Amino acid sequence: MYNRNSGAVSGCESRIGETDITGGGRVKPSPAAAQVGNEGQGEIGRGHTHPNCPPDYEGVTGRSIMPIRWDDIPHAEIAAAIHRRLGQHDIGRSAEDSSRHILSRRLASLDANEHRRFIEFESRDLVAHLRCTRDVYREFVEKHHCSPVVEAYWVVLRCAVFPTAIAALRRKVVGYLKLARVPGRDLSLLFGIPTRTCYREGPLRLLGAPDFDDDTPATDSELRTLAKTVYEDTLLWFRDIHDGGAVGRPFGGGPFALDDAGAIRRSWGLGALQGGVTLTAWMDLREQIWHLCAPWSDGLSNLFGSVQEELLSQWRALPPDSLAYEVTTKGRPLSLKRIVVKRSGPKPKPRNQVLREMLSKQPELSCKAVCRLLDSKFAALPTLAHPEFGGRTYDSWEQAYLDGSARNLVQSLISRCRPKAT
């Protein structure tokens, strides 16, 4: 949280900072927070009618100001609601999850395409989790008529979605690196994390450069240490909503990126400095190591980037989202005329119907021949263009067939559409 007095950024994982949102469309300081003397005890204002309310506490709408303390919000119930909502589509994601299970067993082989697809699945889960958190908390503040709405939404983003993003991203980082069986040595070389390979045996356990011949996978504690490099100051900087509510993006691509200054300094000080290597020379050497550690080094950077971009997109959407809610609740729907676009031409045939008709005429075609025929004759049909298997969209049927992870799905679909032998 941005402190207006000191100009510094401080933590807000369980506090609301100086933000106090009140009913009636105006902002008031929190009396309770002032009495306690703790800037972390913020409140969200709630408006509702009360005949005995003093005039000083009534807003322009005539509703009284009834602050809601952030600590009094039923976070456990909201977390359960988020979990239930995320689990509603488990069956629909079974194909994607099955591909993810297969990929998780193959990450140690360091195949670039498999790591890329796995990171896409993990990023999709993270974005879904953050959006679900946003929606459920917004429903709570809307139910209790918190206003101004844009400030209530900002509080949800800063004090609910942002800490959730940090915690969820840390868990994904630990799980990903554990599946990839990343050596602790590489964590020391790239990010300056002290691992077992950095300690020398003897009367005094001295910390130095990692052992280049030690390929032992990193321990859970070492992975958690790396994951903790994801925190408020490395993800986004938030300015208090009373000061405009702006956000700042730290320089570089994050703590796992090639250009991260903190990782460069830590790794340089872990042996290279004592060995007489200059900082500029170490930057060039570290870049080579970073590319040698691909694809997991690139996967970590992309995972971090997906969370950062989602938070930025939610922040950018605060004004239009709050305006849309206010227009709806005030009973003034947007005066837009409905536009109906009629479909031109006949309705496209479903994918399975096209396959059955094709195979009824040529039942002896192999799966590969069927894919080539679909690409050559039916690519213009919207139901057949860009087939999707296992949560991934392909440019052609032949490309999906040649992909080892999707071939079984393509063969299964074609076999189901073949005419049954009599």
Would you say residue 6 lies in a domain?
no
What size, in residues, is the chain?
422
Q: pLDDT higher for 124 or 28? A: 124
Contact 144, 179 (CB under 8 A): no
Same domain, 305 and 397: no
Residue 139 CB partners (closer than 8 Å, separation 6+): none
Contact 285, 127 (CB under 8 A): no
Would you say residue 84 lies in a domain?
no
Closest CA to 172 of 112, 113, 256: 256
Same domain, 178 and 294: yes
Contact 386, 394 (CB under 8 A): yes
Q: How large is the average pLDDT for residues 340-359?
A: 71
Contact 85, 65 (CB under 8 A): no
Same domain, 184 and 121: yes
Would you say residue 34 lies in a domain?
no
How many folded domains does the chain comprise?
A: 2
Q: How far apart are alpha carbons 153 and 267 in whole angstroms?
A: 39
What percentage of the chain exceeds 90 in pLDDT? Answer: 43
Q: Is the pLDDT reported for residue 265 higher than 90?
A: yes
What percentage of the chain exceeds 70 in pLDDT? Answer: 77
Same domain, 199 and 239: yes
Q: pLDDT higher for 104 or 347? A: 104
Sheet containing 20-21, strands listed edge to edge, beginning at the edge strand earlier in sequence: 20-21, 43-48, 64-69
Same domain, 246 and 301: yes
At residue 346, the pLDDT reads 63
Residue that has been written with the tokens 């009636």 in this structure:
24
Closest CA to 307 of 110, 163, 104: 163
Same domain, 253 and 365: no
Same domain, 323 and 392: no
Q: Is the pLDDT reported for residue 44 higher than 90?
A: no
In this structure, what token pair is assigned to residue 122?
Answer: 């993990």
Q: pLDDT higher for 209 or 11? A: 209
Residues 130-148 pLDDT 10s: 999 999 999 999 888 888 8
Same domain, 361 and 212: no
Alpha helices by DSSP H, 317-403: 318-329, 351-361, 367-377, 397-402
Q: How far apart are alpha carbons 163 and 147 in whole angstroms?
A: 22
Same domain, 193 and 304: yes
The pTM score is 0.66
Residues 45-81 pLDDT 10s: 544 333 333 333 233 333 444 567 888 889 999 999 9
Closest CA to 360 of 287, 314, 417: 417
Contact 355, 371 (CB under 8 A): no
Model confidence at 174, pLDDT cuts 50, 70, 90, reads very high
Q: How far apart are alpha carbons 298 and 113 in whole angstroms?
A: 12
Would you say residue 338 lies in a domain?
no
Model confidence at 201, pLDDT cuts 50, 70, 90, reads confident
Q: Is the pLDDT reported for residue 20 higher than 70?
A: no
Looking at this protein, which amino acid is placed at residue 384?
A: L
Would you say residue 294 lies in a domain?
yes
Of 33-42, 169-178, 247-256, give the lowest mean pLDDT range: 33-42
At residue 14, the pLDDT reads 32
Same domain, 156 and 279: yes
Residues 88-128 pLDDT 10s: 888 888 888 999 999 999 999 999 999 999 999 999 999 99
Q: How large is the average pLDDT for residues 160-180?
A: 97
At residue 340, the pLDDT reads 60
Would you say residue 12 lies in a domain?
no
Would you say residue 395 lies in a domain?
yes
Q: How far apart are alpha carbons 351 and 391 in whole angstroms?
A: 17
Q: Is the pLDDT reported for residue 386 higher than 90?
A: no
Q: How far apart are alpha carbons 61 and 68 in whole angstroms?
A: 18
Q: How far apart are alpha carbons 405 and 133 in whole angstroms?
A: 32
Would you say residue 26 lies in a domain?
no
Same domain, 324 and 355: no
**Residue 366 domain boundaries:** 351-417
Same domain, 180 and 286: yes
Across the chain, what does the average pLDDT equal? 79
Q: Is the pLDDT reported for residue 402 higher than 90?
A: no
